[in-house]
Chain A
């Protein structure tokens, strides 16, 4: 196997070899059952491992959950950046308005705008922290992809939809045709470009 595949031997290949050995030498195994115990353990171990990976639904992590988490983080950065821009614009306007006012009032207004400028620095720090988290998510995505590749995992097309991640859209867990309950309706803020706009909602009331 190593001659063909090199150092990288998948669990599938190992399981195949174990089954082959067990199958082709069944008679011999009856004569020497102790010698084949380890192979049987190995085959069972591989089967359990594959079942455990399949139960974790790694394709949901790769196709749905990690990309969704990334998109949410991008939306957080964009929203905080936009809000910070508004704070700064307001503070700058205050600075301009304070010019020409009595010195005492100008000093007070400057103290206020200074506090706004200082606090606005949060956007830089949170942006850098979020970049770090995005890097971790990418790492998780890569590792899950490598793991599923190593064991030759193929998603079962007939499997029921995966459970949603904590805080993710509960709708994902609903079966086709089922009526949403109140909790199923909760999805948190929509990503930019998704969900209904205020105009869409207004149209429903016209």
Chain B
């Protein structure tokens, strides 16, 4: 199954620089329809407003963290199937397990490279 590169992707991070980096990397991978949010609350609102083919979210944000966002998404019947990748500096095993239990599709530890992002996206949304 080929991936529709016109799909909308939502990136969530409280560091504007990181949003810019991920947006540029996604653009290089051929994904131009990228929306941004700087915390979980704003992200959740966007996710409920329109369907996203993928959410790429940081963990450590205020007022709503990435894992809280993930739990909210998974608990919402309308959007619970949204593919969700966590991109975070939180690298303890407990964090990864908690994210898995909350229903994350994959997990990237910062700092990361473009190859890792592509590999994780391939495993979640398919090859492109």
A interface with B by C-beta (< 8 Å): 81, 84-85, 88, 91-92, 95, 110, 113-114, 117-118, 120-125, 127-128
Contacts and interface: CB of A to CB of B under 8 A. Distances in A.
A114 B21 CA distance: 9
A118 B17 contact: no
30 contacts: A85-B17, A88-B20, A88-B21, A91-B24, A95-B24, A95-B27, A113-B24, A113-B28, A114-B25, A114-B28, A114-B114, A117-B21, A117-B24, A117-B25, A117-B28, A118-B21, A118-B25, A118-B111, A118-B114, A120-B21, A121-B21, A121-B111, A122-B111, A123-B15, A124-B13, A124-B89, A124-B110, A125-B89, A125-B111, A127-B15
A110 B118 CA distance: 15
Q: Ordered nearest first, which 9 A-B pairs have the shortest CB separation?
A: A121-B111, A124-B15, A118-B113, A124-B18, A114-B114, A117-B24, A117-B21, A123-B17, A84-B17
Given A88-B24, A110-B28, A120 B113 contact: no
Contact of B17 (A92, A110, A124): A124
B112 interface: yes
B27 A125 contact: no
A125 B112 CA distance: 11
A110 B27 CA distance: 11
Given A88-B24, A92-B24, A95-B28, 17 more contacts: A81-B17, A85-B17, A88-B21, A113-B28, A114-B114, A117-B25, A118-B111, A118-B113, A118-B114, A120-B17, A120-B21, A121-B21, A124-B15, A124-B17, A124-B89, A125-B110, A128-B60
Interface string B72-95: 000000000000000001000000
Contacts, number: 52
A106 to B, nearest CB: 11
A64 to B, nearest CB: 31
Contacts of A127: 15
A113 B20 CA distance: 13
Contacts of A128: 60, 89
Given A123-B15, A124-B18, A117 B110 contact: no
A128 B60 CA distance: 10
Contact of B18 (A91, A95, A114, A121): A121
Interface in B112-127: 112-114
A85 B17 CA distance: 7
A85 B24 CA distance: 13
Interface string B34-55: 0000000000000000000000
A203 B100 CA distance: 62
